[in-house]
Amino acid sequence: MSQASSIPTSLPREQAGNAIRHRTSRRKLSRIVLMLGGVGVVAIGGAYAWLTGGRYVSIDNAYTNADKVALSTDVSGLVLDIPVREGQEVHKGDVLFRLDPRQTRIAVEAAKADLEQTRLTLESMKRDYERMVRDTSVKSSQVQADQATYDRYAALVGKGDLSRSNFDDARYKLAANQRSVESSTLAAQVQLARLNGDAQVDVTTLPMYRQGQAKLDEAQRQLTDTVVRAPFDGIVTQVSTLQPGMFLPAGTSAFGLISTDHVWVDANPKETDLTWVQPGNPVQVAIDTYPGRVWTGTVDSISAGSGSQFSIIPAQNSSGNWVKVVQRIPLRVRVDRKPGDPPLRAGMSVIVDVDTGHKRTLHDLF
């Protein structure tokens, strides 16, 4: 009876142990499957992210820039008036400031008078050449008469009908008049050379007249430059540094003008970010001043040298304590602007995202 009663009791215990071991095995298998599956999902996800990544290059070391000029003029003078104010938007050709024009007007009048005097001098040279030609002709006629007298006296003195002194006087007079003709002819040639070899020349084509005309043109230019106009559309700045009544020496900066039309972005990406960046790549531009607003643009150019190449004191890489540093390569982005866009001011902080269009392959891993 004791053996029969123990059999039913041991069977459930054995079945329970088998069930527990079965559940434990299933849990271990599930854990292994989950671990391997998780690793596989992460690996697949990582591979997908890597293969689809690398197309965009983000640059936060970027700033807006624009054409700017320190306005000045090459004419010295007193500031007469300044018809613009600080921060005013101006257009190309607008008057920015004027200098007192009295001094340059006097110079223009003096140059006009000098030019007219030069014209009269050249015209008188033409008349003088004509006089020299006539004088030479008269003297040549006198030489012919002297030659005839000399020939007649030579015949008479040979026969003894004329004294030797009269014959010598005739000979000396002929020689003197011949020299006079030669001198007059040479003087006429010199005068003709001054007229550029043409006695009927237009005096306005001669160097002396052109020199006077150049002086007049320069005086006119200086008079024009007493009025300083905007070279392009923009906004004036630091206008208060110039005041009416100040003496402004030639070449001295008056105040600044920053363009509102030609605005671009200067970015300084790491050299390792430029592997696939090329001029013409599309760009998205986000400016810190205008959150949530994005401009489109294009990579305009990539500098041929790093920023350190243009520093005053470049790095001495040949020294013994050299440390490799990732360089920055200047990159310029052309921004596409549309009517109604908020103003872009030089120096604003920018984040640039460049679409290189590059797609990675497994070959890039090896």
C-alpha span between 10 and 22 (Å, rounded): 18
Q: Give pLDDT, residue 9.
A: 52
* pLDDT tens string 90-109: 999 999 999 999 999 999 99
**Average pLDDT, integer, range 294-313:** 86
The residue among 40 and 267 whose pLDDT is bigger is: 267
Q: Give pLDDT, residue 164.
A: 83
pLDDT at 1 over 50: no
Q: Give pLDDT, residue 52.
A: 60
pLDDT at 223 over 80: yes
C-alpha span between 79 and 248 (Å, rounded): 7
Burial class (CB in 10 A: 0-12, 13-18, 19+), 333: buried
Q: Give pLDDT, residue 13.
A: 66
Into which CATH architecture does domain 101-225 fall? Answer: Orthogonal Bundle (1.10)
Average pLDDT, the chain: 86
**Average pLDDT, integer, range 75-100:** 95
- % pLDDT > 70, the chain: 87
Q: Give pLDDT, residue 316.
A: 66
pLDDT at 260 over 60: yes
Query: DSSP assignment of 204-257, as one string?
Result: GGSHHHHHHHHHHHHHHHHHHTTEEE-SSSEEEE-GGG--TT-EE-TT----EE
Domain 56-69+261-365 CATH superfamily: Efflux pump adaptor protein, beta barrel domain (2.40.30.170)
pLDDT at 253 over 60: yes
Highest-scoring range by mean pLDDT, 70-84, 186-200, 332-346:
70-84
* pLDDT tens string 148-174: 988 888 888 777 777 888 888 888 988
